[in-house]
Structure 1
Amino acid sequence: MYTLAVCAEMVFLDLPIHERARRIHDLGFQVEIWDWTRHDLAALTGTGAVFSSMTGYVRGSLTDSDGAAELLRTAEESIKVAEQLGCLRLNLHGTGLDDKGLPVVPVTGPATGPMWIAAQRTLSRVAELGERAGITFTLENLNTAVNHPGVPFATAADTLALVAAVDRPGLRMNLDLYHAQIGEGNLIELVHRAHRLGLIGEIQVADVPGRCEPGTGEINYPAVARALTDLGYNGTVALEAWSSTDSDLALERFRSAFTPA
C-alpha cells in the first residue's frame, strides 16, 4: 500500500510553515516542503513530522556547465539539510525556478541534442551524490502551458526518458499527474509505463483545472488509485495542491480518493 503525504507549502496558509507541518502530521500524513532556505529548520525538526520530500537544489540547471556546477553544489547543501530533517527524497526540475515557478533561464523550443547529453551527464552526477548519502533524487515533470513556460525537459515523456537514460538507483521520477494531465493526459497508461520501468520515486497529485484537491476537477483520481493498488505500487502519493475552500476538507478529500473501497 502506498503512503500519503501533503505539501505544506499549499495548505493551512494562515499558519507558519512548521505549524502547517505539525498539523499535517497530526492528521496522519507525511510532509513535503519546497525551498528549505526559506524555512526555520530547527522548528521543522521539532514538529515530529516525517518529511518525505523537499527541493533538492537551490539554484542551477541541467544543461550548461555553470548551471550544472551550481546545481551540484547546492544539491550537496540540500543533502545535509535532508539528513537533518530525515528526508529521503530530494526533488529536481530541468532548471532553477523563481518564486513564481518560472525558469530563471527559460528555453525556447525543444531541447537540443547537446542539451540532452548535458542533462544526462549532470543527472548521473546528481544520482551519484544521492547514492553516497542514501538519498534518492527525483526529477519532476512540469507543464509549460499554464504554470512553468520555458522549462526544459518538462513533459512526463522527457522526464521519464532522462531518468531511464541515467539508469541509476539514486535518480527516479517524480510523476506529477496534475502537470501530466495538462501536458499529455492518458494518466493511467502513463502510470503503468513508469511503474513497468521501475522508475517512479513518487507520485504527486492535484486536480485540473485549478490545481486544487481531488474531486474539484476533471481527473478521476479514484480510478488512478485503483490502478496504483492493482499495480502494487508501494511508494508515496503526495497532495501538491491548493485547498479549494478549507484545508482540513481538502486533506480528507485527498485521503478519501486514495483509500481503496
Structure 2
Amino acid sequence: MPKFAANLTMLFNEAPFMERFALAAKAGFEGVEYLFPYDFDKDAIRAELDKHGLTQVLHNLPAGNWAGGERGIAVLPDRVDEFREGVAKAIDYATKLGCKQINCLSGIAPAGVPDSVLRATFVANLKLAASELGKHGIKLLIEPINHFDIPGFYLNTPDQAASIIAEVGSDNLYIQYDLYHQQRTEGELIGTFKKHQAQIVHVQLADNPGRNEPGTGEIAYPFVFKTLDALGYDGWIGCEYKPRTTTEEGLGWLAEVGR
C-alpha cells in the first residue's frame, strides 16, 4: 500500500512552518514534503524530522522569485548559472535532511523565446542536475502541471515529460505524477499512470474542482488508491491539497483508507 506524506506547504498551515512537523506526525503521517526548505535552518528541520520520526520525502530545487510569480527557472536561457547554484544548494539541504527525491519545476515559458531554445535549456539543465544529484543518491524528478492553474507553464503532460527524459538520456530522471494536475489537463488517471509507471517514482494528490482533500470532488480516490496498490506502486503519495476548512477537519479520508 502506498504511504502518504503531508505536504507542509499546504497542510497544517494554520500553524507556523516549524510546528507543522509535529502536527503531521500526530495526524498519522509517516513522511513530509513541501515546496522549499531554504528559508529555514537545515539543522532545525533535521531535528524536527528526528523528533517526530518523519521521513523527508521530497522538496523542490530553488525556483526563482516565487513570491514574484516565478514557478521555476529551468527553461530560462538567461538563468543557467542561477539554476546550477540552486542544484548545489538543494544537495546541501537534501543530504542533511535525508531527502532522496528532488523535484525540478520547469518554469513559465517566456514570451518571444523559441520552443527549441527553451527545450534545449531545460534538457541541458536536467542533464547537469541529474548527474550532480545522482552522485549523492538523490533522484531528480520533473512534474507536469496543468496550464489552467499556471498559465504558460512549460511542462504540462506526462507524454511531454517522457519525451524530455528520453532526450536527457539519464537513468536518474523521473516523473512526479500529480493526479490533480493530470485530471485538469487530460484525465485518464489510471491509464496514464500505467503508460508511464516505469518512470513514475512519486505521486501527489488533490481532488478536483477546488484542489481540496480527497472526497470533495470528482476523482474516485478509493478506486485510485486500490488500483495503484494493485499495480504495485509502493512509493509515497504526497498530499498536496488545500484543506476545505481546517487540515484536521478534512482528514477523514485518511482514516477511511486505513492511515
The amino acid of 2:124's aligned partner reads: R
The answer to whether structure 1 residue 113 and structure 2 residue 116 are counterparts is: yes
Q: Return closer, same or farther for 1:33/1:108 CA change in 2, 3 Å cut-off.
A: same
Deviations 1:123-150 (A, max 9, x none): 11111011111111111111111x2111
Q: Distance in 2 between matches of 1:154 and 1:108?
A: 17
What does 1:95-106 align with in structure 2 at a 5 Å threshold?
Answer: 95=107, 103=108, 106=109
Q: Which moved more, 1:81-90 or 1:58-67?
A: 58-67
Select 1:94's aligned residue among 83, 87, 106.
Answer: 106
Cα deviation digits, residues 9-44 of structure 1 (max 9, x gap):
112222111211121123332001212222343332
Deviation at 1:108, TM superposition (A): 5.0
Asked if the contact 1:141/1:174 (under 8 Å) is kept, the reply is yes
Deviates more, 1:244-253 or 1:206-215: 244-253
Residues 167 and 255 from structure 1, CA distance in 2 versus in 1: closer, same or farther, beyond 3 angstroms?
A: farther
Residue of structure 2 equivalent to 1:153: 155
Q: Paired residue for 1:136, among 136, 139, 152?
A: 139
**Residue in structure 2 matched with residue 100 of structure 1 by the alignment:** none
Q: CA deviation at 1:3?
A: 1.8
Match of 2:96 among 61, 84, 87: 84
Alpha-carbon distance in structure 2 between the residues aligned to 1:24 and 1:217: 23
Cα distance in structure 1, aligned partners of 2:115 and 2:33: 33
Inter-partner Cα distance in structure 2 for 1:167 and 1:249: 45
**Kindly tell me: are residues 16 and 131 of structure 1, through their superposed partners in 2, closer, same or farther at Cα, counting changes over 3 Å?**
same
Q: Distance in 2 between matches of 1:18 and 1:55?
A: 18
| Contact kept? 2:77, 2:117, Cα under 8 Å | no
Amino acid at match of 2:244: S
Q: Do the aligned partners of residues 109 and 181 (structure 1) sit closer, same or farther apart at CA in structure 2, a change above 3 Å counting? A: farther
Please give the alpha-carbon distance, in whole angstroms, between the structure 2 residues aligned to 1:211 and 1:247.
13
User: Deviations along 1:57-90, whole A, 9 cap, x unmatched?
Assistant: 2436233443233212211111101111111111
- Asked which structure has the greater RCO (Cα within 8 Å, sep 6+), the reply is 2
Q: Does 1:50 align with 2:51?
A: no
Structure 1 regions of 5+ residues with no counterpart?
A: 96-102
Q: Using the alignment, how far apart are the partners of 1:110 and 1:231 within structure 2?
A: 41
1:120 positional shift:
1.9
Q: Which amino acid aligns with 2:39?
A: R
The equivalent residue for 2:190 is 188
Note closer, same or farther for the CA distance 1:201–1:68 as it changes in structure 2 (3 Å cut). Answer: farther
Q: Is the 8 A contact 1:107 1:152 kept in 2?
A: no
Aligned-residue CA RMSD in angstroms? 2.2
Distance 2:250 2:127 in 1: 37
Correspondence for 1:210 = 210
Aligned length: 247
CA contact under 8 A between 2:158 and 2:196: conserved in structure 1? no
Is 47-56 or 178-187 further displaced after alignment?
47-56
Partner of 1:166: 168
Q: TM-score, normalised by structure 1?
A: 0.86
Q: Contact 1:175–1:200 at 8 Å: present in 2 too? A: yes
TM-superposed deviation, 1:239: 0.5
Paired letter, 1:53: L
Change (3 A) 1:73 1:28: same
1:114 CA displacement: 3.5
Aligned partner letter, 1:184:
E
Q: 1:77 to 1:112 in 2, by over 3 A?
A: same
Give the aligned residue type for 2:122.
A
Where does residue 38 of structure 1 map in the other structure?
Answer: 39
Percent identical residues: 28
